[in-house]
């Protein structure tokens, strides 16, 4: 007699075969409870009912778990999903299904050398139909990252917490890649340009590259999107001077890559890389929910590995694009445990399972949201003139300092005359002079001022009256 839980047993076996299992693979551990012919009939029925999927024909036929979504916590599990404690110190709270995925990773129950890129993992995703983040999770994320007046121009919120985000994200994202820079060493490097003693040039360059890329996202908040130009630009900034071949910076890869600590082998076919990269952009751009869009990029950019290196870094910053554009709290990955992040990403690589990485994302965003919402609430309402002429203000302040002009009304008025409406000129000049009075070595970064240039200007004019 066929056991009632045969489907559950088969699904458990399929989880061990990311590339698919043959009939013989499935029959071997189940031969005591089901005959070959019965199992074959049941498999055909489950494929027809959409419970599993199959590829190939005859002896080459293989059975696979459905591409995502897999199984999300049902309503009865949501309380545990919200409050469950970390499994161990240095991890994050995980859902029931996230724990199931984590256990599949250790110990390995399959041959890691068999894990190859599965295009159908991406192809099976249908924007606004497939949802990696369940509705209750998206509601919870929105509650933790929403601020008043979200209808303001894109990037309004993130600019108010820019100084904090720049250091947080540069440090935490670099740390997830093995950087040994401390938070305060990162802060000093970003604010003064001074590298920490005992660090390698690669570590220093990595932190600096994050700084440049984050500035790009914030400065271009009204122009960035899930498109080829934005993602390639992000990669070019993050990978600058870190790849052996300069031609690979900001370009899709033309060579194979391997994943450290995993048997997963991304596709090495340039045409497939290009096609799937464009598919990620097209599907990602079509996603309406900002959190689903953010998480989708965190899943699929690293899985494809479109670049020779610096893929996860690119995905972490790309995950902020929809958040910045919708004036939501940014995601800095501050204090994200390396082990949990690695496990979540590994589950995507080897199992095409997103649930554990989703748990990491939820925890990371709620941690970031609290940090930036609190910081934002303490900031006075922005000056309307500063919002209207944000870029012009930065340009004029930069020119005053770099060109060595005195911080006086006449100089500022001359520089601003052709860039500011006549009716706003007096107020703009007053605001610019006030900003010049407030310059110091720890905030000049927002105006792209080299520390040595600022010190020379400061020595000439001191603190303006």
* 1 part of a folded domain: no
Collapse the DSSP code of 132 into the 3-class scheme (helix H, G, I; strand E, B; otherwise coil) and give the result. coil
Whichever domain contains 121, its CATH number is 1.10.3290.10
Collapse the DSSP code of 239 into the 3-class scheme (helix H, G, I; strand E, B; otherwise coil) and give the result. coil
Please tell me whether residues 418 and 360 are part of one structural domain. no
Question: Which residue in 271, 208, 267 sits closest to 240, CA to CA?
Answer: 208
More confident residue, 383 or 154: 154
Q: Residues 391, 133: contact at Cβ < 8 Å?
A: no
Please tell me whether residues 294 and 200 are part of one structural domain. yes
Please tell me whether residues 166 and 232 are part of one structural domain. yes
Residues forming beta bridges with residue 53, ordered by sequence position = 64
- Answer yes or no: is pLDDT of 161 > 60: yes
Which tokens in the block code for residue 371? 């940090």
- Answer yes or no: is pLDDT of 108 > 70: no
- What confidence category does residue 74 fall into, taking pLDDT thresholds of 50, 70 and 90? very low
Location of structure tokens 């110190």: 89
Please tell me whether residues 28 and 135 are part of one structural domain. no
The helices-and-strands tally (H runs, E runs) of the chain is 23, 2
CA angle 298, 226, 140 (to 5 degrees): 50
The 10s digit of each residue's pLDDT in 272-286 is: 999 999 999 999 999
Please tell me whether residues 226 and 318 are part of one structural domain. yes
The 10s digit of each residue's pLDDT in 388-439 is: 787 888 889 999 999 889 888 988 899 888 888 988 888 888 888 888 888 8
Give the start-end residues of each E strand in 23-111: 53-55, 62-64
The 10s digit of each residue's pLDDT in 135-158 is: 999 999 998 888 756 567 777 788
- Note the pLDDT of residue 33: 85
Percent of the chain with pLDDT over 90: 46
The 10s digit of each residue's pLDDT in 231-288 is: 999 999 999 999 999 999 999 999 999 888 888 999 999 999 999 999 999 999 999 9
pTM of the model: 0.70
Please tell me whether residues 408 and 324 are part of one structural domain. no
- Note the pLDDT of residue 460: 83
Please tell me whether residues 339 and 392 are part of one structural domain. no
Phi-psi region of 128 (alpha: psi -120 to 50; beta: other; left: phi over 0): left
Highest mean predicted confidence (pLDDT) among 79-88, 108-117, 285-294: 285-294
Please tell me whether residues 124 and 184 are part of one structural domain. yes
Please tell me whether residues 258 and 351 are part of one structural domain. yes
- What confidence category does residue 104 fall into, taking pLDDT thresholds of 50, 70 and 90? confident
Average pLDDT over the chain, rounded to an integer: 85
What is the average per-residue pLDDT within 312-321? 98
Nearest-angstrom CA–CA distance, 80 and 207:
37
Domain that holds residue 444: 384-461
Number of domains in the chain: 3
Cis peptide before 137, with omega less than 30 degrees from 0? no
Location of structure tokens 């599965």: 118
The 10s digit of each residue's pLDDT in 190-211 is: 988 899 999 999 999 999 999 9
Whichever domain contains 58, its CATH number is 1.10.10.10
- Note the pLDDT of residue 291: 97
Percent of the chain with pLDDT over 70: 87
Produce one character per residue of 67-88: b if its CB has 16 or more CB atoms within 10 Å, e if not: bbbbebbeeeebeebeebeeee
DSSP, residue by residue, 185-226: HHHHHHHH-PPPTT--HHHHHHHHHHHHHHHHHHHTTTT--S
Nearest-angstrom CA–CA distance, 338 and 144:
23
Nearest-angstrom CA–CA distance, 126 and 296:
11
Measured CA distances, 381 to 156, 378, 394, 431 (Å)? 11, 9, 19, 15
Among the residue ranges 85-94, 182-191, 223-232, 378-387, the one predicted with the least confidence is 378-387
């Amino acid at each position: 007699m066929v056991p009632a839980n045969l489907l559950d047993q088969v699904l458990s076996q399929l989880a061990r075969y990311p590339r698919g299992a043959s009939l013989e693979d499935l029959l071997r551990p189940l031969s005591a409870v089901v005959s070959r012919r019965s199992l074959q009939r049941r498999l055909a029925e489950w494929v027809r009912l959409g419970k599993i999927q199959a590829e190939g024909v005859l002896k080459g036929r293989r059975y696979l778990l459905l591409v995502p979504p897999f199984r999300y916590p049902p309503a009865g599990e949501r309380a545990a999903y919200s409050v469950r404690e970390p499994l161990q110190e240095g991890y994050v709270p995980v859902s029931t299904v996230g724990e199931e995925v984590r256990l599949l990773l250790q110990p390995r129950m399959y041959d890691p050398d068999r894990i190859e890129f599965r295009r159908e993992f991406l192809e099976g995703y249908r924007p606004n139909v497939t949802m990696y983040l369940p509705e209750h999770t998206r509601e919870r994320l929105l509650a933790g990252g929403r601020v008043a007046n979200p209808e303001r121009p894109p990037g309004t919120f993130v600019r108010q917490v820019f100084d904090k985000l720049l250091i947080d994200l540069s440090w935490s994202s670099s740390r997830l890649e093995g950087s040994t820079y401390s938070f305060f060493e990162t802060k000093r490097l970003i604010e003064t340009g001074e590298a920490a003693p005992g660090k390698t040039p690669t570590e220093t360059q990595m932190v600096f590259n994050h700084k440049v890329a984050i500035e790009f996202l914030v400065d271009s908040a009204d122009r960035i999107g899930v498109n080829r130009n934005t993602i390639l630009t992000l990669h070019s900034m993050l990978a600058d001077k870190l790849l052996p071949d300069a031609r690979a910076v900001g370009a899709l890869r033309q060579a194979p890559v391997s994943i450290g600590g995993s048997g997963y082998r991304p596709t090495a076919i340039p045409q497939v890389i290009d096609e799937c990269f464009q598919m990620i952009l097209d599907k990602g751009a079509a996603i309406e929910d900002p959190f689903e869009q953010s998480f989708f990029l965190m899943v699929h950019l690293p899985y494809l590995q479109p670049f020779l290196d610096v893929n996860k870094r690119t995905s972490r910053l790309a995950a902020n694009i929809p958040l910045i554009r919708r004036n939501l709290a940014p995601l800095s990955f501050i204090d994200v445990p390396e082990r949990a992040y690695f496990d979540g990403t590994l589950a995507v690589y080897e199992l095409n399972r997103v649930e554990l990485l989703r748990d990491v994302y939820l925890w990371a965003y709620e941690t970031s949201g609290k940090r930036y919402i609190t910081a934002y609430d303490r900031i006075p309402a922005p000056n309307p003139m500063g919002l209207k002429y944000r870029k012009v203000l930065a340009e004029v302040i930069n020119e005053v300092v770099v060109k060595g002009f005195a911080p006086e009304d006449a100089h500022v008025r001359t520089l601003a005359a052709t860039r500011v409406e006549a009716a706003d000129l007096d107020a703009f000049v007053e605001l610019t002079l006030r900003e010049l009075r407030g310059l110091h070595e720890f905030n000049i970064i927002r105006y792209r001022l080299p520390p040595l240039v600022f010190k020379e200007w400061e020595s000439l004019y001191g603190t303006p009256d």
